[in-house]
Amino acid sequence: MSSVIPLRPGPARPDAASLIRDRILDAATDCLLEEGLDARLHAAIAERAGISRPTVYKYVGDQAAIVAAVLDRELDRFFGAAVPVLQRSDDLQAHLVSAIVFVVDYARDHALLQKALKEHPEIILPALTTESRPLVERVVGLFEEQLGRALGQSSPGGLDARAVAEWCYRIVISLATTPTAGLDRDGTRAYVERLIRLMALIEA
């Protein structure tokens, strides 16, 4: 479930308030891409979005709230894009390969994530690793049902959907955040297919 901060009370109707908030977050995303997490966001957002600084505070909040809301919206977009990919197959190996390839490519091509990893790894990496429990739970919720059906058909011993989903998460984070020569050389799908085949041999 998303942790995006609810709309703050304001004079606009709910639908109009949502549009204002989206405009603020669009401007915030552009500012973060151009200036990074150190940017003084309120003035820049107000100028870019054509609204006042108090309006930015009213509908989103302070600097930390803006960054959190942008990141949460990006996560919501990712999960929305991932669902159709995860529903394509109940074949376990095909499912794992497609899911991991999609998420790794999405993360490696995500301009804001890659900028943050490059400029502020001390902020981003803990959120993806040592402090990742909320994100892991969202990933498990996304993968678990489909993986459960795939596992029910293939029935490898000792595996359950939650364990496999967490395993996928850790592979994705490693490949998305660590320079990997084989991934760049061979392409994501070929690299992941070999990795999954190797893990299947070890499991057997």
Interval 94-144: pLDDT, tens: 777 888 899 899 999 999 999 999 998 998 899 899 999 988 888 888 777
Ranking 52-56, 59-63, 83-87, 185-189 by mean pLDDT, the lowest is 83-87
Q: Compute the distance between CA of residue 172 and CA of residue 179 in angstroms, rounded to an integer.
A: 12
Q: Compute the distance between CA of residue 123 and CA of residue 69 in angstroms, rounded to an integer.
A: 15
- The predicted pLDDT at position 138 comes to 85
Higher-confidence position of 60 and 150? 60
- The predicted pLDDT at position 109 comes to 92
Which tens digits make up the pLDDT trace of 80-100?
888 787 777 667 777 778 888
Q: What is the pTM of this model?
A: 0.77
CA angle 50, 74, 63 (to 5 degrees): 50
* pLDDT for residue 4 is more than 50: no
State how far the alpha carbon of 55 is from the alpha carbons of 24, 77, 112, in Å.
Answer: 9, 25, 24
* pLDDT for residue 7 is more than 50: no
- The predicted pLDDT at position 6 comes to 45
- For 180, counting Cβ atoms within 10 Å of its Cβ (0-12 exposed, 13-18 middle, 19+ buried), the class is middle
